[in-house]
Every structure is written in C-alpha cells, then in structure tokens.
Amino acid sequence: MYSAELKKIVEVFELESVLPELSLEGRSVLRREINRPALQLAGFYERFDSDRLQVIGRVEYSYLLSLNDEDRKNAIRHLFQYHIPCLVVCKNLEIFPEMVEYGREYSIPIFRTAQNTTDFTAELIFWLREELADRVMMHGVLVDIYGEGVLITGASGIGKSETALELIKRGHRLIADDAVEIKRIADRRLIGSCPEIIRYLIELRGIGILNVKELFGVGSVKEQKTVDLVIKLEVWDGKADSYDRLGLNEEYMDILGNKVQLNTIPVRPGRNVAMICESAAMTNRQKKMGKNTAQDFANRIGK
C-alpha cells in the first residue's frame, strides 16, 4: 500500500490552506480516486468512499447555497463526521463558515484553488495514479529508442550497460541503468524511471561510474518513459534453431499483470547489439502502426 502525503499535494497543486493551524504532518491519501460529494451532501451515504480526497465544485457549492442555514449546517457536519482526508474547494469559491467550524472540530484540512473543477480533478487523478501506482524494481537498463521505451535485461555482465552506452552515442536517451523502477499507471501503461540516487549514472566494468548527463548533455537522458518492449540478452547457445528467425512467434513478459512484447537476442562476438536493439524498437513501432513485415512475408509464401 502506497500513500501520497497531503503536504506534497498542497505543494504540487499550490493549494491555499483555509485552516493553516492544522498540521499536515503524517496525513496522507491512500486512494487514487477522488470524490465530488454531491449525493452525500443531499443525504445519500450508501457506498460512500470516505477515504477519498473530496472536491467541491460549482455544482456542489450551488446546492449548498440553495439550502437554508440549518440544512446546510447539517449537510456539512454529516460529511465531516466521516473523517474525510481533506476537502478542496475549486474556483476560489467562498468558504462556508460551517466548513471552517467543522473542519476545526474534526481536525480536517480545507484547501482552496483557483482552478476550475474539471481541470483540477483531471490533473489530480493523473498525479495520484502515478504517485500511488503498483510498482516493481527490475534489474536492467531502460533506454528511449526512437520513442519506444526499451527495457534491456539479461544476466549480469552480458553487456547491457555497454549496449546502452552505444545507443546513447547514437542519439538515444538513457532513463535508468542497473535498477529500473516500473509503475503500473493503467491497464496498458507501464512507466519506468530511475531511483534518484543513481539517476543519470551508468556503470561500466573496468572504468567505473559515468555521469551520462555531464558527458553527453541533457539531450542524452530522460527521467521516465513508458515500457513498450523488453529485450532479453543471452549468450548464444550455438544452435541455429533455438531462436525465431522470422519473427512470427511472439513472446511476452508479464510485468505487474501487463503483457509486454519480449524479444530474446542471442549475443556473441561480432554482433552489433545496439543496432539490433534499434531494429527491434522500429519493428515494434511498425507493429503498433499496423505493419507486420514477418506476417506479410508469411502470407506471401503462403500464396
């Protein structure tokens, strides 16, 4: 279970604190979804997810404004009694005195933003999905090749970092070397990044640690990238029939429940692995655009 600190949300979205006397230390949000409590303010609390961040927009505000003082007070008190993580009021709408009263009573932070409700909720949901995403740390190298995020894996010492360095020299960008943190943002979207302590660094046996950003410039690195393809490097076993020669047999690697295209590349002296990785990335991109050369060739032979 991951969490997003409330004070970080306040900093990222530049929220105005209505109750600055309430400390945000130790407060966090555990859900990737948010809630606009329109039905709850009307009295319907069945299946109410009180652990979600609550957002008040123009619609909810107008409803509260239409109530008499006693009904509005009861509606707001009932919402705060569920001990919601916090309440955010959009469009710089005026804060009802009842919100301030029950915010203090139940120790629930209240914030305000000038953003309209649609934009704010869209940005917040996207940010929370990334911040609270399921994640895994994988051994390998992640490189951006022609816009495709290619995760290069294989046994230690097989040449992953050397291949990445050659790709960087050819104009591609490094995301992570050795340790790749992968987050599952959506059903079909994996985002790879690098732990901050080794960001922009690459290790070469016999030389040591290199700072790619300093050696090759800011255009040679990137902080994160989708994982579109996995290339597994392994020592060639010498058998010609051990590997797919046409590209018809598709393999996949399961990462956090997502299937990612997997290409197994045999490595031996004389093979330009960097160029092979480039070709694999372009082929994967072609397939996304509906062009499968291997299948076209198979169909041609079938005729």
158 is known to lie in a ligand binding site? yes
Which residue segment(s) compose the domain that 261 sits in?
Answer: 134-298
Shared-domain flag, residues 111 and 183 = no
Whether residues 74 and 94 share a domain: the answer is: yes
The pTM (predicted TM-score) of the whole model is: 0.79
Q: What is the CATH number of the domain that holds 179?
A: 3.40.50.300
Q: Which residues are catalytic?
A: 139, 160, 178, 245
Residue 43 lies in a domain: yes
Q: Say if CB 63 and CB 76 are below 8 A apart.
A: no
Q: How far apart are CA 243 and CA 152, in angstroms?
A: 17
Cα gap 104→148, rounded to integer Å: 50
Same domain for 123 and 266, yes or no, is no
Looking at the fold, whether 37 and 119 belong to one and the same domain comes out as yes
- Tell me if 237 sits within 8 A of 284, measured CB to CB: no
Q: How far apart are CA 250 and CA 264, in angstroms?
A: 10
Q: Does residue 35 sit within a domain? A: yes
To the question of whether residue 103 is assigned a binding role by annotation, the answer is no
- Is residue 250 annotated as involved in ligand binding? no
User: What sign does the dihedral 37-40-41-44 (CA atoms) show?
Assistant: positive
How many residues does the structure list for the chain? Answer: 303
Say whether both 214 and 127 belong to one domain. no
pLDDT by residue for the chain (303 residues), tens only, comes to 689 999 999 999 999 999 999 999 999 999 999 999 999 999 999 999 999 999 999 999 999 999 999 999 999 999 999 999 999 999 999 999 999 999 999 999 999 999 999 999 999 999 999 899 999 999 999 999 999 999 999 998 899 999 999 999 999 999 999 999 999 987 788 999 999 999 999 998 889 999 999 999 999 999 999 999 999 999 887 665 666 777 777 889 999 999 999 999 888 887 899 999 999 999 999 988 888 777 777 777 774
- Select from 116, 131, 146 the last residue of a domain: 131
Residue at which a domain ends, from 131, 150, 170: 131
Phi, psi (deg, nearest 5) at residue 9 = -60, -40
Mark which of 131, 153, 172 sits at the end of a domain: 131
Tokens linked to 144: 């951006």
**Annotated binding residue 154:** yes
Distance from C-alpha of 278 to C-alpha of 146, rounded to nearest angstrom: 8
Residues 100 and 163 placed together within one structural domain of the fold: no
List of residues 6+ apart from 200 with CB closer than 8 A: 174, 194, 211, 212, 213, 214, 221
Q: Is there a domain that residue 67 lies in?
A: yes
Reported as a single tens digit per residue, the pLDDT across 125-169 is 999 998 999 999 999 999 999 999 999 999 988 999 999 999 999
Say whether 203 counts as a known binding-site residue: yes
Q: Is 276 annotated as contributing to ligand binding? A: no
User: Do 79 and 174 have their domain in common?
Assistant: no
The DSSP annotation for 244-292 comes to: -SSS-S-EEEEETTEEEEEEEEEE-TT--HHHHHHHHHHHHHHHHTT--
Q: Are residues 262 and 156 in the same domain?
A: yes
Domains: count for the chain: 2
Average pLDDT, the chain: 92
The answer on 202 and 125 residing in a single domain is no
Answer yes or no: do 165 and 235 share one domain: yes
Instruction: Evaluate whether residue 93 is within a structural domain.
Output: yes
Phi, psi of 28 (to 5 degrees): -150, 165
| Residue 234 β-bridge partners | 266
Residue 155 known to bind ligand: yes
CA distance to 153, 169, 236, 243, 276, per residue, from 270 (Å): 20, 19, 12, 18, 12
Residue 219 assigned ligand-binding role: no
Are 224 and 104 within one domain? no
Quick: pLDDT tens for 28-47: 999 999 999 999 999 999 99
Residue 246 and residue 297 in contact, taking contact as beta carbons nearer than 8 Å: yes
Please provide the distance, in angstroms rounded to a whole number, between the alpha carbons at the two ends of the chain.
55
Are residues 146 and 275 located together in one domain of the fold?
Answer: yes
